[in-house]
Amino acid sequence: MDKQLNGAQIVLQSLQDHGVEHIFGYPGGAVLPIYDEIFQQESIEHILVRHEQGATHAAEGYARSTGKCGVVLVTSGPGATNAVTGLTDALMDSIPMVCITGQVPTHLIGGDAFQEADTVGITRPCTKHNYLVKDINDLARIMHEAFQVATTGRPGPVVVDIPKDIQFALGPYMKPKAVKHKSYQPQLKGDMAAIKQAVELIANAKKPIFYTGGGIINSGPQASQLLREFVKLTGFPITSTLMGLGSYPSADKQWLGMLGMHGTYEANWAMHDCDVMINIGARFDDRITGTLDKFAPNSKKIHVDIDPSSINKNVMVDVAIVGDCAHVLEDMLRVYKSDAVTPDKKALASWWEEIEGWRDRKCLAYKKDAKAIKPQYAVERLYELTKDADTYITTEVGQHQMWAAQYYRFEDPNRWMTSGGLGTMGYGIPAAVGVQVAHPKSLVIDIAGEASVQMTMQEISTAVQYRLPIKIFILNNEYMGMVRQWQELLHGGRYSSSYSEALPDFVKLAEAYGATGIRAETAAELDDAIKRMIDTPGPVIFDCIVTKDENCFPMIPSGAAHNEMLLADSEGLDIEVSDAGKALV
Amino acid sequence: MSAENQIERHTLSVLVDNEAGVLARVIGLFSGRGYNIDSLTVAEVDDQEHMSRITIVTLGTPPMIEQIKAQLGRLVPVHRVVDLTVECESVERELALVKVAGKGDARVEALRMSEAFRARVVDATPDSFVFEITGNTEKIDAFIGLMKPLGLREVSRTGAAAISRGPEAM
């Protein structure tokens, strides 16, 4: 007979058996038995956040920087509803997460009990899967399934809702190996016939481009290695989505920079003009494609994705390969080598010539300012002064996020944590907390905006409590910058509610939390201030006062195509956006 | 209009674990992603393995139907999804209970039509009938259409159940 444990012990035992070392959470009435078990053991450290949303983003940062599963523990009702934003964020960006929620005892469910919410009902559309545990005999199996579902296939968040009486009840425990899911079996290996077809397209390409995404990161470091090998072998140009930054080194000359709405001129033009597009682990998101009927109109498209529903969802492709990026890349490379494919050198040379022409446009150039700090300059300097350290970058959402993506450069995967799909302001601080928990000795910087950062500012208290020396680098332009930019370009410069009024003094705020505050107001003092930030042993809030009305360029306006980009020097021109374009987000 | 953009009616058979919330997952997927449900039936079909079969009749362009299939397949408790409209020959049946009230010629005509459609009378009073009719959706639509001028009062339909022809199971 199996060993009998109570529900709370089963939860802890299963976490241990899945190698969990840290969980992010917030206690409450419906999870007290689990917190009591946490108190009585030492192998798992609990990080107490200040708001449940913070726990979910911390778990995301932890997961994305390690490749492991992030684990969250919250109470019923408001604990669970506060976690919804982070769960949705993890679903959109395919982050593995197990979120355990307490629930009122089973006999009270449905009676509008205190702190009762229909957690599985609320989280059904924002999780990969969820469970309400009604029988203690199911708990161990469900915990193991939750980890399997969260971490395999296209990763995502899984909620396990556990009523309080189940946490006290006695039941059997079996090891993870004993559990095999009946219906859930994600496909890892790609179809060989499709892979051969893809290699044939690649072999005959005249204007090819690799377009890669977060799937490479999720697949693991091996996928990045294989990608690098394949890109080198072919000599093709490569671009990536926001989520894929770091899978290919930005220092390499085949790297064209990020593509999409705020991507580089060369990456977007190459996408538009390519004849063969090799999409590995990206999902043709609307930030990438721009208007669909003008998207890479003359190209054959290859799409590698582990999620069959990503295939032909937004863009119809010519060769679809369902499988894990690393597995498929390995097979592609093998076929490419065994077929002794030699790329069309002449065509490729003239393709690169075209690309160099676009590159010469120097789309990321901006007007320097002798006195004031330009936000682009701030990120450039931050990069120069931190690139040789063991650095991880998180961001909030908005202009600063795009500048970080454009001007900070990544050489390795798992170094860049940002909210891509959902675009969650307030992601950066808690994500930095999670990253720093996983990498206590590394330099973890949240490149932030003064508006976003106030959404989860309370997590600086978590950082202080656990001595996590995260650096919050705020590009403070006193505006919700991206909102202001869209209002300038699309709404006649009527800045409706986008001014950050009544801002706190961030230096004093840092001090109030027991952290260090640093402010830089001129370009001349920026470098020294950044160095001071790096040298400060504890958490720092860095208030970087930047020019207020800077716009984020290049930009593909809504409803436009990749070859209709706006550049910084087109500023001041009348920008025509169609009514259909204005209706887009 | 090209075939790509043509709205078609497809019948999908979905084999799922009969666990709490599985129907809500399927319905939530349709409403959340803006797909249509024309009809939906569900019942347990294997009490040993606790499997249920959901039959969904949906409307969409061929790429949309492909996407619906893929999205359904992605749900964790879903074992299989088959598009019975394109993947095989299939038979489809629906049951309806049709209440018709009236007297005189209309009543006689309703009864006569019910015989022509092989509907059964499952309840009768001096001034009403409840007919039980089984068939494909078009046949039931036709019968209900004919009953309208003859005193149609209300209709209860099960939605379509469907299965492939021949010896193979899904």
Tell me, what's the pLDDT at B2?
61
Check: CB of residue A426 under 8 Å from CB of residue A394: no
Q: What is the CA radius of gyration of chain A?
A: 24
Q: Is A174 annotated in the active site?
A: no
Which residues does chain B have within 8 Å of residue A313's beta carbon, measured at their own beta carbons?
Answer: 67, 70
Q: Is A164 annotated in the active site?
A: yes
Q: Is the ipTM of this complex over 0.90?
A: yes
Which is catalytic among the residues A9, A13, A37, A52?
Answer: A52
CA distance A317 to chain B (A): 12
* pLDDT mean values, one per 10 residues, chain A (585 residues): 87 98 98 98 98 98 98 98 98 98 98 98 98 98 98 98 98 91 92 98 97 98 98 98 98 98 97 98 95 94 97 97 98 95 94 98 94 98 98 98 98 98 98 98 98 98 98 98 95 96 98 98 98 98 97 92 87 67 80
Nearest-angstrom CA–CA distance, B89 and B65: 18
Nearest residue of A to residue B19 by CA position?
A: A131
| B21, B66, B73 member nearest A120 (Cβ) | B21
Contact A232/B at CB under 8 A: no
Q: Do the chains contact at A316 and B63, CB–CB below 8 Å?
A: yes
Question: Which residues of B have a CB under 8 Å from any CB of A?
Answer: 16-17, 20-21, 24-25, 28, 32, 63, 66-67, 70-71, 73-79
Q: Is A175 annotated in the active site?
A: no
pLDDT tens digits for range B7-42: 999 999 999 999 999 999 999 999 999 999 999 999
Q: Do the chains contact at B67 and A125, CB–CB below 8 Å?
A: no
Q: At what angle do helices A7-17 and A32-39 cross, to 10 degrees?
A: 60
Check: CB of residue A94 under 8 Å from CB of residue A152: no
Q: Is the pLDDT of residue B1 over 70?
A: no
Name residue B14's amino acid. V
Nearest residue of A to residue B65 by CA position?
A: A313
Q: Is A115 annotated in the active site?
A: yes
Contact A124/B at CB under 8 A: yes
Locate A217 and state its tokens: 């990161």
Check: CB of residue B98 under 8 Å from CB of residue B122: no
Give me the residues paired with residue B40 across strands.
B56
Q: Among candidates A504, A444, A511, which has minimal Cα distance to A476?
A: A504
Nearest residue of B to residue A123 by CA position?
A: B25
What sign results for the dihedral spanned by CA atoms A185, A189, A195, A196? negative
Which residues does chain B have within 8 Å of residue A309's beta carbon, measured at their own beta carbons?
Answer: 67, 70-71, 73-74
Tell me, what's the pLDDT at A182?
84
Check: CB of residue A245 under 8 Å from CB of residue A416: yes
The continuous run of DSSP H or E covering B97 comes out as: strand B90-101
SS3 category, A533: helix
Q: Do the chains contact at B71 and A309, CB–CB below 8 Å?
A: yes
Could you tell me where the beta strands, DSSP code E, fall in A312-409?
Answer: 319-322, 391-395
| B16, B21, B66 member nearest A312 (Cβ) | B66
Substitution target in B23, B75, B76, B78 with the highest count of A β-carbons within 10 Å is B76
CA distance A434 to chain B (A): 28
pLDDT tens digits for range B123-166: 999 999 999 999 999 999 999 999 999 999 999 999 999 999 99
CA distance B89 to chain A (A): 25
Nearest-angstrom CA–CA distance, A38 and B17: 34
Substitution target in B74, B79, B81 with the highest count of A β-carbons within 10 Å is B74
| B21, B25, B63 member nearest A312 (Cβ) | B63
Which is catalytic among the residues A68, A128, A164, A207?
Answer: A164
Tell me, what's the pLDDT at A572?
53
Mean confidence (pLDDT) of chain B: 96
Which is catalytic among the residues A402, A482, A533, A565?
Answer: A482
CA distance B134 to chain A (A): 33
Contact A48/B at CB under 8 A: no
The residues near A426 (Cβ < 8 Å, ≥ 6 apart) are A53, A57, A396, A452, A453, A455, A456
Name residue B92's amino acid. E
Enter the DSSP assignment of B65.
Answer: H
Which residues does chain A have within 8 Å of residue B31's beta carbon, measured at their own beta carbons?
Answer: none
Q: Are strands A208-212 and A276-280 parallel, antiparallel or unpaired?
A: parallel
Which is catalytic among the residues A40, A41, A114, A368?
Answer: A114
Q: How many CB pairs under 8 A join A and B?
A: 43
Give me the residues paired with residue A417 across strands.
A394
Which residues does chain B have within 8 Å of residue A184's beta carbon, measured at their own beta carbons?
Answer: 76
Written in H, E and C, the secondary structure of A105-164 is CHHHCCCCCCCCCCHHHHHHHHCCEEEECCCHHHHHHHHHHHHHHHHCCCCCEEEEEEEH
Locate B150 and state its tokens: 């003859």
| B32, B63, B73 member nearest A125 (Cβ) | B32
| A129, A311, A316 member nearest B70 (Cβ) | A311
Could you tell me where the beta strands, DSSP code E, fall in A317-356?
Answer: 319-322
Which residues does chain B have within 8 Å of residue A142's beta carbon, measured at their own beta carbons?
Answer: none
Nearest residue of B to residue A149 by CA position?
A: B76
Name residue A574's amino acid. D
